[in-house]
A and B are shown apart, each in its own frame.
Chain A
Protein backbone atom coordinates (compact mmCIF):
# COMPACT_ATOMS: atom_id res chain seq x y z
CA UNK A 1 0.00 0.00 0.00
CA UNK A 2 1.29 3.44 -0.82
CA UNK A 3 1.80 6.06 1.86
CA UNK A 4 -0.19 8.87 0.29
CA UNK A 5 -2.80 8.33 -2.34
CA UNK A 6 -4.68 11.08 -4.15
CA UNK A 7 -7.55 9.99 -6.38
CA UNK A 8 -9.40 12.16 -8.85
CA UNK A 9 -8.97 15.30 -6.72
CA UNK A 10 -11.05 18.30 -7.76
CA UNK A 11 -11.14 21.75 -6.22
CA UNK A 12 -13.10 24.77 -7.32
CA UNK A 13 -13.22 28.34 -6.03
CA UNK A 14 -16.63 29.64 -6.98
CA UNK A 15 -16.77 28.85 -10.67
CA UNK A 16 -13.03 28.48 -11.15
CA UNK A 17 -11.70 24.94 -11.31
CA UNK A 18 -8.27 25.08 -9.69
CA UNK A 19 -7.67 21.34 -9.74
CA UNK A 20 -9.47 19.18 -12.24
CA UNK A 21 -8.90 15.50 -11.63
CA UNK A 22 -5.49 14.89 -10.04
CA UNK A 23 -4.42 11.32 -9.26
CA UNK A 24 -1.07 10.25 -7.91
CA UNK A 25 0.42 8.24 -5.12
CA UNK A 26 3.58 8.35 -3.07
CA UNK A 27 5.28 5.30 -1.59
CA UNK A 28 7.26 5.14 1.64
CA UNK A 29 10.51 7.07 1.38
CA UNK A 30 9.81 7.97 -2.23
CA UNK A 31 10.43 11.37 -3.81
CA UNK A 32 7.69 12.58 -6.13
CA UNK A 33 7.76 15.99 -7.80
CA UNK A 34 4.72 17.95 -8.87
CA UNK A 35 5.58 20.39 -11.62
CA UNK A 36 3.67 22.67 -13.93
CA UNK A 37 3.44 26.31 -14.98
CA UNK A 38 2.41 28.98 -12.46
CA UNK A 39 -1.25 28.73 -11.56
CA UNK A 40 -1.45 25.09 -12.53
CA UNK A 41 -2.86 24.16 -9.11
CA UNK A 42 0.23 22.69 -7.44
CA UNK A 43 0.06 24.65 -4.22
CA UNK A 44 -3.71 24.18 -4.11
CA UNK A 45 -3.11 20.43 -4.21
CA UNK A 46 -0.71 20.79 -1.24
CA UNK A 47 -3.33 22.76 0.61
CA UNK A 48 -5.87 20.01 0.00
CA UNK A 49 -3.54 17.31 1.28
CA UNK A 50 -2.63 19.27 4.40
CA UNK A 51 -6.24 20.21 5.18
CA UNK A 52 -6.12 23.96 4.50
CA UNK A 53 -8.58 23.55 1.63
CA UNK A 54 -11.43 21.14 1.51
CA UNK A 55 -11.49 19.41 -1.88
CA UNK A 56 -14.68 19.70 -3.90
CA UNK A 57 -14.48 16.01 -4.68
CA UNK A 58 -12.04 13.12 -4.79
CA UNK A 59 -10.20 11.07 -2.18
CA UNK A 60 -6.99 11.72 -0.31
CA UNK A 61 -5.75 8.96 1.97
CA UNK A 62 -2.69 8.53 4.14
CA UNK A 63 -2.02 4.86 4.85
CA UNK A 64 -5.66 4.23 4.02
CA UNK A 65 -7.03 6.95 6.31
CA UNK A 66 -9.18 9.63 4.72
CA UNK A 67 -7.73 13.13 5.18
CA UNK A 68 -10.35 15.61 3.88
CA UNK A 69 -12.44 17.02 6.71
CA UNK A 70 -9.65 16.76 9.26
CA UNK A 71 -8.10 19.90 10.71
CA UNK A 72 -4.62 20.71 9.39
CA UNK A 73 -3.26 20.08 12.88
CA UNK A 74 -4.83 16.62 12.93
CA UNK A 75 -3.28 15.81 9.56
CA UNK A 76 0.06 17.05 10.86
CA UNK A 77 -0.44 14.71 13.80
CA UNK A 78 -0.75 11.79 11.39
CA UNK A 79 2.77 12.41 10.16
CA UNK A 80 2.52 15.03 7.42
CA UNK A 81 4.73 18.11 7.55
CA UNK A 82 5.07 20.91 5.04
CA UNK A 83 6.88 24.08 4.14
CA UNK A 84 5.25 27.08 2.52
CA UNK A 85 5.91 28.71 -0.81
CA UNK A 86 6.37 32.16 0.75
CA UNK A 87 8.17 31.20 3.94
CA UNK A 88 5.88 31.13 6.93
CA UNK A 89 8.30 31.32 9.82
CA UNK A 90 7.31 32.75 13.20
CA UNK A 91 9.20 35.93 12.41
CA UNK A 92 9.56 37.49 15.84
CA UNK A 93 10.57 34.26 17.54
CA UNK A 94 14.11 32.95 17.61
CA UNK A 95 15.33 30.42 15.07
CA UNK A 96 15.53 27.84 17.81
CA UNK A 97 11.97 28.47 18.93
CA UNK A 98 10.77 28.08 15.38
CA UNK A 99 12.26 24.62 15.23
CA UNK A 100 10.96 23.78 18.68
CA UNK A 101 7.49 24.21 17.18
CA UNK A 102 8.25 20.98 15.36
CA UNK A 103 9.01 18.99 18.48
CA UNK A 104 6.05 20.65 20.15
CA UNK A 105 3.65 17.73 19.74
CA UNK A 106 6.15 15.26 21.14
CA UNK A 107 6.55 17.14 24.39
CA UNK A 108 5.11 15.34 27.37
CA UNK A 109 4.33 18.21 29.67
CA UNK A 110 1.17 19.41 31.39
CA UNK A 111 0.15 22.85 32.55
CA UNK A 112 0.92 21.80 36.12
CA UNK A 113 4.40 20.63 35.17
CA UNK A 114 4.97 24.09 33.75
CA UNK A 115 3.52 25.96 36.73
CA UNK A 116 5.52 23.95 39.27
CA UNK A 117 8.63 23.44 37.12
CA UNK A 118 8.63 19.71 37.84
CA UNK A 119 11.57 17.53 36.80
CA UNK A 120 9.41 16.35 33.92
CA UNK A 121 9.08 19.96 32.75
CA UNK A 122 12.83 20.52 32.85
CA UNK A 123 13.53 17.23 31.12
CA UNK A 124 11.04 17.81 28.34
CA UNK A 125 12.25 21.37 27.76
CA UNK A 126 15.84 20.16 27.56
CA UNK A 127 14.94 17.40 25.14
CA UNK A 128 12.96 19.82 23.01
CA UNK A 129 15.93 22.17 22.79
CA UNK A 130 18.34 19.34 22.00
CA UNK A 131 16.05 18.09 19.27
CA UNK A 132 15.83 21.56 17.79
CA UNK A 133 19.61 21.87 17.74
CA UNK A 134 19.87 18.44 16.19
CA UNK A 135 17.65 19.34 13.27
CA UNK A 136 19.32 22.70 12.76
CA UNK A 137 22.61 20.82 12.58
CA UNK A 138 21.05 18.36 10.19
CA UNK A 139 20.01 21.03 7.70
CA UNK A 140 23.37 22.71 8.20
CA UNK A 141 22.24 26.07 9.55
CA UNK A 142 25.30 28.03 10.54
CA UNK A 143 23.81 31.38 11.57
CA UNK A 144 22.82 32.68 15.00
CA UNK A 145 20.12 30.45 16.44
CA UNK A 146 19.05 32.94 19.07
CA UNK A 147 18.29 35.82 16.78
CA UNK A 148 14.84 36.52 15.41
CA UNK A 149 14.03 34.29 12.47
CA UNK A 150 13.06 37.22 10.27
CA UNK A 151 16.59 38.61 10.51
CA UNK A 152 18.20 35.58 8.85
CA UNK A 153 19.29 35.65 5.24
CA UNK A 154 16.73 34.17 2.86
CA UNK A 155 18.51 30.88 2.27
CA UNK A 156 18.84 30.23 6.00
CA UNK A 157 15.17 31.00 6.53
CA UNK A 158 14.42 28.25 4.01
CA UNK A 159 16.62 25.85 5.95
CA UNK A 160 15.01 26.84 9.23
CA UNK A 161 11.57 26.11 7.80
CA UNK A 162 12.72 22.67 6.66
CA UNK A 163 14.31 21.99 10.07
CA UNK A 164 11.03 22.95 11.69
CA UNK A 165 9.14 20.53 9.48
CA UNK A 166 11.66 17.74 10.14
CA UNK A 167 11.42 18.23 13.88
CA UNK A 168 7.83 17.07 13.50
CA UNK A 169 9.46 13.71 12.58
CA UNK A 170 7.07 13.26 9.65
CA UNK A 171 6.61 10.27 7.38
CA UNK A 172 5.65 12.56 4.54
CA UNK A 173 7.19 15.95 3.87
CA UNK A 174 5.69 18.41 1.41
CA UNK A 175 8.21 20.94 0.14
CA UNK A 176 6.78 23.92 -1.73
CA UNK A 177 9.52 25.35 -3.98
CA UNK A 178 12.41 24.82 -1.56
CA UNK A 179 15.01 25.98 -4.07
CA UNK A 180 13.23 29.17 -5.16
CA UNK A 181 15.48 32.18 -4.76
CA UNK A 182 18.56 30.15 -3.87
CA UNK A 183 21.88 30.63 -5.64
CA UNK A 184 23.74 27.89 -7.46
CA UNK A 185 25.74 26.65 -4.50
CA UNK A 186 22.74 26.69 -2.18
CA UNK A 187 20.75 24.69 -4.73
CA UNK A 188 23.39 21.97 -4.72
CA UNK A 189 23.20 21.86 -0.93
CA UNK A 190 19.41 21.67 -1.11
CA UNK A 191 19.68 18.70 -3.44
CA UNK A 192 21.97 16.99 -0.99
CA UNK A 193 19.66 17.82 1.91
CA UNK A 194 16.64 16.37 0.13
CA UNK A 195 18.53 13.14 -0.43
CA UNK A 196 19.61 12.99 3.21
CA UNK A 197 16.02 13.53 4.31
CA UNK A 198 14.97 10.64 2.09
CA UNK A 199 17.69 8.52 3.65
CA UNK A 200 15.96 9.00 7.01
CA UNK A 201 13.00 7.13 5.55
CA UNK A 202 10.84 10.17 4.83
CA UNK A 203 8.74 10.37 1.67
CA UNK A 204 8.87 13.75 -0.06
CA UNK A 205 6.49 15.52 -2.39
CA UNK A 206 8.25 18.38 -4.06
CA UNK A 207 6.89 21.37 -5.91
CA UNK A 208 9.75 22.92 -7.82
CA UNK A 209 10.44 25.00 -10.88
CA UNK A 210 14.11 24.15 -11.13
CA UNK A 211 14.01 21.32 -13.65
CA UNK A 212 17.63 20.32 -13.03
CA UNK A 213 16.85 19.65 -9.38
CA UNK A 214 13.56 17.92 -10.15
CA UNK A 215 15.04 15.57 -12.76
CA UNK A 216 18.00 14.79 -10.55
CA UNK A 217 16.21 13.94 -7.35
CA UNK A 218 12.74 12.62 -8.24
CA UNK A 219 11.75 9.06 -8.65
CA UNK A 220 8.51 10.12 -10.30
CA UNK A 221 7.19 13.36 -11.71
CA UNK A 222 3.55 14.49 -11.92
CA UNK A 223 2.81 17.33 -14.36
CA UNK A 224 -0.14 19.68 -13.90
CA UNK A 225 -1.41 22.23 -16.39
CA UNK A 226 -4.47 24.42 -15.77
CA UNK A 227 -5.50 22.08 -12.98
CA UNK A 228 -5.37 19.00 -15.20
CA UNK A 229 -2.87 16.22 -14.82
CA UNK A 230 -1.08 15.76 -18.12
CA UNK A 231 1.67 13.32 -17.19
CA UNK A 232 2.84 11.00 -14.41
CA UNK A 233 5.97 8.93 -14.79
CA UNK A 234 9.71 8.59 -14.41
CA UNK A 235 11.67 11.81 -15.00
CA UNK A 236 13.21 10.70 -18.26
CA UNK A 237 9.80 9.70 -19.66
CA UNK A 238 8.13 12.90 -18.57
CA UNK A 239 10.92 14.94 -20.10
CA UNK A 240 10.16 13.47 -23.51
CA UNK A 241 6.36 13.62 -23.18
CA UNK A 242 4.98 15.86 -25.99
CA UNK A 243 2.11 17.16 -23.85
CA UNK A 244 4.59 18.34 -21.21
CA UNK A 245 6.84 20.01 -23.75
CA UNK A 246 3.82 21.79 -25.17
CA UNK A 247 2.66 22.96 -21.75
CA UNK A 248 6.06 24.35 -20.93
CA UNK A 249 7.05 25.79 -24.27
CA UNK A 250 3.56 26.60 -25.49
CA UNK A 251 2.22 26.02 -28.97
CA UNK A 252 0.47 28.15 -31.51
CA UNK A 253 -2.72 26.21 -31.01
CA UNK A 254 -2.87 27.26 -27.36
CA UNK A 255 -1.31 30.66 -27.48
Chain B
Protein backbone atom coordinates (compact mmCIF):
# COMPACT_ATOMS: atom_id res chain seq x y z
CA UNK B 1 0.00 0.00 0.00
CA UNK B 2 1.29 3.45 -0.83
CA UNK B 3 0.85 5.78 2.10
CA UNK B 4 1.78 9.11 0.57
CA UNK B 5 -1.59 10.67 -0.02
CA UNK B 6 -1.57 14.38 0.71
CA UNK B 7 -3.86 15.14 3.55
CA UNK B 8 -4.89 18.21 5.42
CA UNK B 9 -3.27 18.43 8.83
CA UNK B 10 -5.86 18.77 11.54
CA UNK B 11 -5.65 18.89 15.30
CA UNK B 12 -2.67 19.93 17.37
CA UNK B 13 0.45 18.26 16.19
CA UNK B 14 2.82 19.73 18.74
CA UNK B 15 3.02 18.25 22.18
CA UNK B 16 2.23 21.09 24.54
CA UNK B 17 4.77 20.41 27.25
CA UNK B 18 7.01 17.89 25.66
CA UNK B 19 10.28 19.76 25.84
CA UNK B 20 9.72 20.91 29.38
CA UNK B 21 8.75 17.40 30.44
CA UNK B 22 11.86 15.91 28.92
CA UNK B 23 13.95 18.56 30.57
CA UNK B 24 12.28 17.86 33.86
CA UNK B 25 13.09 14.18 33.69
CA UNK B 26 16.64 14.86 32.63
CA UNK B 27 17.05 17.41 35.42
CA UNK B 28 15.57 14.98 37.89
CA UNK B 29 18.15 12.43 36.76
CA UNK B 30 21.05 14.85 37.02
CA UNK B 31 19.89 16.07 40.42
CA UNK B 32 19.65 12.49 41.66
CA UNK B 33 23.10 11.70 40.37
CA UNK B 34 24.53 14.81 42.00
CA UNK B 35 23.01 13.92 45.34
CA UNK B 36 24.50 10.43 45.07
CA UNK B 37 27.92 11.81 44.14
CA UNK B 38 28.00 14.43 46.89
CA UNK B 39 26.62 12.28 49.68
CA UNK B 40 30.02 10.94 50.82
CA UNK B 41 31.13 14.52 51.45
CA UNK B 42 28.38 14.84 54.01
CA UNK B 43 29.04 11.57 55.75
CA UNK B 44 31.76 9.13 54.74
CA UNK B 45 31.72 6.82 57.75
CA UNK B 46 32.00 3.15 56.95
CA UNK B 47 28.45 2.61 58.07
CA UNK B 48 27.02 5.42 55.95
CA UNK B 49 28.94 4.24 52.89
CA UNK B 50 27.73 0.68 53.27
CA UNK B 51 24.13 1.85 53.63
CA UNK B 52 24.43 4.08 50.57
CA UNK B 53 26.12 1.39 48.50
CA UNK B 54 23.37 -1.05 49.41
CA UNK B 55 20.77 1.55 48.48
CA UNK B 56 22.39 2.06 45.07
CA UNK B 57 22.39 -1.69 44.41
CA UNK B 58 18.77 -1.79 45.48
CA UNK B 59 18.00 0.97 42.97
CA UNK B 60 19.46 -1.21 40.25
CA UNK B 61 17.28 -4.14 41.31
CA UNK B 62 14.21 -1.93 41.26
CA UNK B 63 15.10 -0.58 37.80
CA UNK B 64 15.36 -4.17 36.55
CA UNK B 65 12.12 -5.33 38.12
CA UNK B 66 10.43 -2.23 36.76
CA UNK B 67 11.11 -3.50 33.24
CA UNK B 68 9.18 -6.68 34.00
CA UNK B 69 6.41 -5.34 36.24
CA UNK B 70 6.17 -1.68 35.30
CA UNK B 71 6.74 -1.74 31.56
CA UNK B 72 5.44 -5.17 30.66
CA UNK B 73 2.86 -5.69 33.41
CA UNK B 74 4.10 -9.14 34.43
CA UNK B 75 4.12 -9.76 38.17
CA UNK B 76 7.40 -11.41 39.12
CA UNK B 77 7.46 -12.48 42.76
CA UNK B 78 10.76 -14.31 42.52
CA UNK B 79 12.92 -11.56 41.12
CA UNK B 80 15.57 -12.19 43.73
CA UNK B 81 16.35 -15.43 41.90
CA UNK B 82 18.25 -13.46 39.25
CA UNK B 83 20.02 -11.45 41.92
CA UNK B 84 21.11 -14.75 43.44
CA UNK B 85 22.14 -16.25 40.11
CA UNK B 86 24.33 -13.23 39.39
CA UNK B 87 25.89 -13.14 42.85
CA UNK B 88 26.55 -16.88 42.95
CA UNK B 89 27.89 -17.09 39.40
CA UNK B 90 30.44 -14.40 40.03
CA UNK B 91 31.14 -15.68 43.55
CA UNK B 92 31.73 -19.27 42.46
CA UNK B 93 33.85 -18.32 39.46
CA UNK B 94 35.98 -15.83 41.35
CA UNK B 95 36.69 -18.06 44.34
CA UNK B 96 36.99 -21.47 42.64
CA UNK B 97 38.84 -20.32 39.53
CA UNK B 98 40.61 -17.38 41.11
CA UNK B 99 39.29 -14.98 38.51
CA UNK B 100 39.08 -11.24 39.11
CA UNK B 101 35.50 -10.19 39.66
CA UNK B 102 35.38 -8.08 36.51
CA UNK B 103 36.20 -11.09 34.36
CA UNK B 104 33.15 -12.94 35.66
CA UNK B 105 30.78 -10.28 34.32
CA UNK B 106 30.41 -11.74 30.79
CA UNK B 107 29.74 -15.14 32.34
CA UNK B 108 27.16 -13.59 34.64
CA UNK B 109 25.37 -12.03 31.69
CA UNK B 110 25.30 -15.33 29.81
CA UNK B 111 24.10 -17.29 32.83
CA UNK B 112 21.37 -14.79 33.76
CA UNK B 113 20.11 -14.69 30.18
CA UNK B 114 19.86 -18.47 30.27
CA UNK B 115 18.16 -18.30 33.67
CA UNK B 116 15.69 -15.77 32.29
CA UNK B 117 14.87 -18.07 29.40
CA UNK B 118 14.56 -21.15 31.60
CA UNK B 119 12.21 -19.38 33.99
CA UNK B 120 10.34 -17.38 31.37
CA UNK B 121 9.88 -19.82 28.52
CA UNK B 122 7.49 -22.25 30.21
CA UNK B 123 5.68 -19.66 32.32
CA UNK B 124 5.10 -16.71 30.01
CA UNK B 125 2.38 -18.52 28.10
CA UNK B 126 0.36 -18.66 31.29
CA UNK B 127 -2.22 -16.28 32.65
CA UNK B 128 -0.63 -13.40 34.52
CA UNK B 129 -1.70 -14.53 37.98
CA UNK B 130 -0.32 -18.03 37.53
CA UNK B 131 2.90 -16.41 36.46
CA UNK B 132 3.15 -14.62 39.79
CA UNK B 133 3.06 -17.82 41.81
CA UNK B 134 5.30 -19.75 39.46
CA UNK B 135 7.98 -17.07 39.66
CA UNK B 136 7.66 -17.25 43.42
CA UNK B 137 8.22 -21.01 43.20
CA UNK B 138 11.26 -20.47 41.00
CA UNK B 139 12.69 -18.01 43.47
CA UNK B 140 12.41 -20.66 46.18
CA UNK B 141 13.90 -23.33 43.90
CA UNK B 142 16.98 -21.22 43.27
CA UNK B 143 17.45 -20.45 46.95
CA UNK B 144 16.96 -24.05 48.09
CA UNK B 145 19.27 -25.28 45.35
CA UNK B 146 21.98 -22.87 46.45
CA UNK B 147 21.41 -24.12 49.98
CA UNK B 148 21.79 -27.80 48.99
CA UNK B 149 24.65 -27.82 46.51
CA UNK B 150 28.30 -28.16 47.47
CA UNK B 151 29.58 -25.86 44.76
CA UNK B 152 27.59 -22.97 46.19
CA UNK B 153 28.85 -23.64 49.69
CA UNK B 154 25.57 -24.96 51.10
CA UNK B 155 23.87 -23.03 53.92
CA UNK B 156 27.06 -21.14 54.84
CA UNK B 157 27.48 -19.84 51.30
CA UNK B 158 30.61 -18.45 49.69
CA UNK B 159 33.10 -16.19 51.38
CA UNK B 160 36.38 -14.60 50.34
CA UNK B 161 35.00 -13.10 47.15
CA UNK B 162 37.61 -10.56 45.98
CA UNK B 163 36.72 -6.91 46.37
CA UNK B 164 36.70 -4.73 43.29
CA UNK B 165 38.70 -2.13 45.18
CA UNK B 166 39.97 -1.84 48.73
CA UNK B 167 38.50 1.58 49.35
CA UNK B 168 34.82 1.68 50.30
CA UNK B 169 34.56 5.21 48.91
CA UNK B 170 35.90 4.19 45.52
CA UNK B 171 33.62 1.18 45.48
CA UNK B 172 30.68 3.40 46.30
CA UNK B 173 31.48 5.63 43.31
CA UNK B 174 31.95 2.60 41.05
CA UNK B 175 28.56 1.36 42.18
CA UNK B 176 26.93 4.73 41.58
CA UNK B 177 28.33 4.87 38.04
CA UNK B 178 27.25 1.32 37.19
CA UNK B 179 23.80 1.83 38.68
CA UNK B 180 23.35 5.16 36.88
CA UNK B 181 24.20 3.51 33.59
CA UNK B 182 21.77 0.71 34.39
CA UNK B 183 18.99 3.15 35.21
CA UNK B 184 19.68 5.17 32.07
CA UNK B 185 19.75 1.98 30.01
CA UNK B 186 16.42 0.84 31.44
CA UNK B 187 14.90 4.23 30.69
CA UNK B 188 16.18 4.16 27.12
CA UNK B 189 14.91 0.65 26.58
CA UNK B 190 11.57 1.88 27.84
CA UNK B 191 11.48 4.59 25.18
CA UNK B 192 12.51 2.27 22.36
CA UNK B 193 10.61 0.09 19.96
CA UNK B 194 10.89 -2.79 22.39
CA UNK B 195 9.78 -0.63 25.29
CA UNK B 196 6.67 0.43 23.42
CA UNK B 197 5.93 -3.20 22.63
CA UNK B 198 6.15 -3.97 26.37
CA UNK B 199 3.56 -1.31 27.09
CA UNK B 200 1.31 -2.59 24.33
CA UNK B 201 1.44 -6.02 25.92
CA UNK B 202 0.71 -4.55 29.35
CA UNK B 203 -2.26 -2.57 28.07
CA UNK B 204 -3.89 -5.18 25.85
CA UNK B 205 -2.19 -8.36 24.80
CA UNK B 206 -4.70 -9.25 22.09
CA UNK B 207 -4.60 -5.85 20.46
CA UNK B 208 -0.79 -5.92 20.56
CA UNK B 209 -0.79 -9.31 18.90
CA UNK B 210 -3.21 -8.04 16.25
CA UNK B 211 -0.81 -5.19 15.50
CA UNK B 212 1.92 -7.68 14.72
CA UNK B 213 3.69 -7.77 18.08
CA UNK B 214 4.89 -11.28 18.86
CA UNK B 215 3.74 -10.99 22.45
CA UNK B 216 5.46 -14.10 23.73
CA UNK B 217 8.85 -13.04 22.39
CA UNK B 218 8.38 -9.51 23.71
CA UNK B 219 7.52 -10.79 27.18
CA UNK B 220 10.52 -13.07 27.14
CA UNK B 221 12.69 -10.09 26.20
CA UNK B 222 11.38 -8.20 29.24
CA UNK B 223 12.17 -11.17 31.40
CA UNK B 224 15.68 -11.50 30.04
CA UNK B 225 16.37 -7.78 30.44
CA UNK B 226 15.12 -7.95 34.02
CA UNK B 227 17.30 -11.01 34.62
CA UNK B 228 20.46 -9.30 33.35
CA UNK B 229 19.82 -6.19 35.47
CA UNK B 230 19.22 -8.37 38.53
CA UNK B 231 22.27 -10.50 37.83
CA UNK B 232 24.61 -7.53 37.46
CA UNK B 233 23.23 -6.09 40.68
CA UNK B 234 24.14 -9.46 42.18
CA UNK B 235 27.77 -9.02 41.11
CA UNK B 236 27.89 -5.66 42.88
CA UNK B 237 26.32 -7.25 45.92
CA UNK B 238 28.91 -10.03 46.01
CA UNK B 239 31.71 -7.50 45.56
CA UNK B 240 30.39 -5.32 48.36
CA UNK B 241 29.96 -8.02 50.99
CA UNK B 242 32.60 -10.47 49.71
CA UNK B 243 30.41 -13.18 51.24
CA UNK B 244 27.01 -14.43 50.14
CA UNK B 245 24.67 -17.03 51.55
CA UNK B 246 21.17 -18.28 50.74
CA UNK B 247 19.63 -16.17 53.51
CA UNK B 248 20.22 -13.02 51.43
CA UNK B 249 17.94 -14.29 48.69
CA UNK B 250 14.61 -14.97 50.35
CA UNK B 251 11.13 -14.04 49.21
CA UNK B 252 11.34 -11.07 51.56
CA UNK B 253 13.96 -9.52 49.30
CA UNK B 254 11.78 -10.02 46.19
CA UNK B 255 8.85 -8.48 48.00
CA UNK B 256 10.88 -5.45 49.05
CA UNK B 257 12.01 -4.76 45.49
CA UNK B 258 8.43 -5.09 44.32
CA UNK B 259 7.38 -2.69 47.01
CA UNK B 260 9.92 -0.11 45.83
CA UNK B 261 8.58 -0.36 42.28
CA UNK B 262 4.92 -0.18 43.30
CA UNK B 263 5.43 2.59 45.82
CA UNK B 264 7.41 4.79 43.45
CA UNK B 265 5.16 4.22 40.49
CA UNK B 266 5.20 1.27 38.13
CA UNK B 267 6.78 2.19 34.81
CA UNK B 268 8.17 5.50 36.06
CA UNK B 269 11.95 5.65 36.27
CA UNK B 270 12.22 8.61 38.70
CA UNK B 271 9.46 7.05 40.81
CA UNK B 272 11.15 3.69 40.98
CA UNK B 273 14.51 5.19 41.92
CA UNK B 274 12.95 7.22 44.71
CA UNK B 275 10.92 4.23 45.85
CA UNK B 276 14.06 2.10 46.05
CA UNK B 277 16.00 4.72 47.98
CA UNK B 278 13.13 5.20 50.42
CA UNK B 279 12.61 1.48 50.98
CA UNK B 280 16.30 0.84 51.59
CA UNK B 281 17.16 3.90 53.68
CA UNK B 282 13.99 4.27 55.73
CA UNK B 283 14.58 1.23 57.97
CA UNK B 284 18.03 2.61 58.85
CA UNK B 285 16.46 5.85 60.02
CA UNK B 286 13.52 4.27 61.79
CA UNK B 287 15.44 1.66 63.75
CA UNK B 288 12.98 1.79 66.64
CA UNK B 289 10.21 0.62 64.42
CA UNK B 290 12.16 -2.40 63.19
CA UNK B 291 9.55 -4.84 64.47
CA UNK B 292 6.78 -3.13 62.62
CA UNK B 293 8.44 -2.15 59.40
CA UNK B 294 7.41 -5.09 57.25
CA UNK B 295 3.94 -4.91 58.69
CA UNK B 296 3.82 -1.25 57.70
CA UNK B 297 5.18 -2.09 54.24
CA UNK B 298 2.40 -4.64 53.77
CA UNK B 299 -0.30 -2.21 54.83
CA UNK B 300 1.28 0.43 52.62
CA UNK B 301 1.11 -1.86 49.59
CA UNK B 302 -2.62 -2.34 50.08
CA UNK B 303 -3.17 1.36 50.70
CA UNK B 304 -1.21 2.41 47.61
CA UNK B 305 -3.13 0.00 45.40
CA UNK B 306 -6.47 1.22 46.70
CA UNK B 307 -5.78 4.93 46.99
CA UNK B 308 -3.03 5.72 44.48
CA UNK B 309 -2.30 2.79 42.17
CA UNK B 310 -0.06 4.91 39.94
CA UNK B 311 2.44 5.36 42.79
CA UNK B 312 4.08 8.42 44.31
CA UNK B 313 5.76 9.65 41.12
CA UNK B 314 3.65 8.18 38.36
CA UNK B 315 4.73 7.55 34.81
CA UNK B 316 3.00 9.85 32.35
CA UNK B 317 1.65 8.76 29.05
CA UNK B 318 3.48 11.77 27.67
CA UNK B 319 6.78 10.53 28.93
CA UNK B 320 6.64 7.81 26.30
CA UNK B 321 6.17 10.19 23.42
| Chain A residues near B (Cβ < 8 Å) | 50, 52, 71-74, 76-77, 81-82, 84, 88-94, 96-97, 100-102, 104-105, 107, 109, 111, 113-115, 117, 121, 124, 129, 131, 133-138, 140-148, 164-166, 168-171, 196, 199-202
Question: In this assembly, does B197 line the interface, its C-beta being within 8 Å of a C-beta of chain A?
Answer: yes
In the bound complex, do residue A93 and residue B212 qualify as a contact, i.e. CB atoms below 8 Å apart?
no
* Cα(A140)–Cα(B317), bound, Å: 22
Question: In this assembly, does B194 line the interface, its C-beta being within 8 Å of a C-beta of chain A?
Answer: yes
- Give which listed residue, A76, A147, A164, A201, contacts B317 with CB less than 8 A: A147
B286, chain A: closest CB distance, angstroms:
34
B2 cross-chain contacts in A, Cβ below 8 A: 200-201
Smallest Cβ-Cβ distance to A109: which chain B residue: B193
B113, chain A: closest CB distance, angstroms:
13
In the bound complex, do residue B210 and residue A72 qualify as a contact, i.e. CB atoms below 8 Å apart?
yes
* Cα(A15)–Cα(B191), bound, Å: 47
Smallest Cβ-Cβ distance to A94: which chain B residue: B317
In the bound complex, do residue B5 and residue A71 qualify as a contact, i.e. CB atoms below 8 Å apart?
no
* Cα(A213)–Cα(B214), bound, Å: 34
Question: In this assembly, does B35 line the interface, its C-beta being within 8 Å of a C-beta of chain A?
Answer: no
A96, chain B: closest CB distance, angstroms:
6
In the bound complex, do residue B214 and residue A93 qualify as a contact, i.e. CB atoms below 8 Å apart?
no
Given A73-B212, A104-B213, answer yes or no on A170-B1 (Cβ-Cβ < 8 Å): yes
* Cα(A136)–Cα(B18), bound, Å: 19
In the bound complex, do residue A97 and residue B199 qualify as a contact, i.e. CB atoms below 8 Å apart?
yes
In the bound complex, do residue B321 and residue A97 qualify as a contact, i.e. CB atoms below 8 Å apart?
yes
Task: Count chain B residues whose beta carbon lies closer than 8 angstroms to a beta carbon of A.
Answer: 42
* Cα(A113)–Cα(B191), bound, Å: 11
* Cα(A129)–Cα(B213), bound, Å: 18
Question: In this assembly, does B127 line the interface, its C-beta being within 8 Å of a C-beta of chain A?
Answer: no
A113 cross-chain contacts in B, Cβ below 8 A: 192
B208 cross-chain contacts in A, Cβ below 8 A: 90, 101
In the bound complex, do residue A90 and residue B207 qualify as a contact, i.e. CB atoms below 8 Å apart?
yes
In the bound complex, do residue B212 and residue A137 qualify as a contact, i.e. CB atoms below 8 Å apart?
no
- Give which listed residue, A94, A141, A200, contacts B10 with CB less than 8 A: A141
CB neighbors of A among B1-35 (8 A)? 1-3, 5, 7-13, 15-16, 18
- Give which listed residue, B9, B191, B193, contacts A107 with CB less than 8 A: B193
In the bound complex, do residue A101 and residue B213 qualify as a contact, i.e. CB atoms below 8 Å apart?
yes
Provide a sorted-by-A list of 6 A–B residue pairs whose CB atoms are within 8 angstroms: A52-B210, A71-B214, A74-B214, A115-B185, A166-B3, A200-B3
B179, chain A: closest CB distance, angstroms:
16
- Give which listed residue, A89, A135, A137, A140, contacts B207 with CB less than 8 A: A89
In the bound complex, do residue A73 and residue B188 qualify as a contact, i.e. CB atoms below 8 Å apart?
no
- Give which listed residue, B1, B8, B197, B200, contacts A201 with CB less than 8 A: B1
* Cα(A214)–Cα(B256), bound, Å: 57
* Cα(A193)–Cα(B16), bound, Å: 28
* Cα(A89)–Cα(B206), bound, Å: 10
In the bound complex, do residue B211 and residue A101 qualify as a contact, i.e. CB atoms below 8 Å apart?
yes
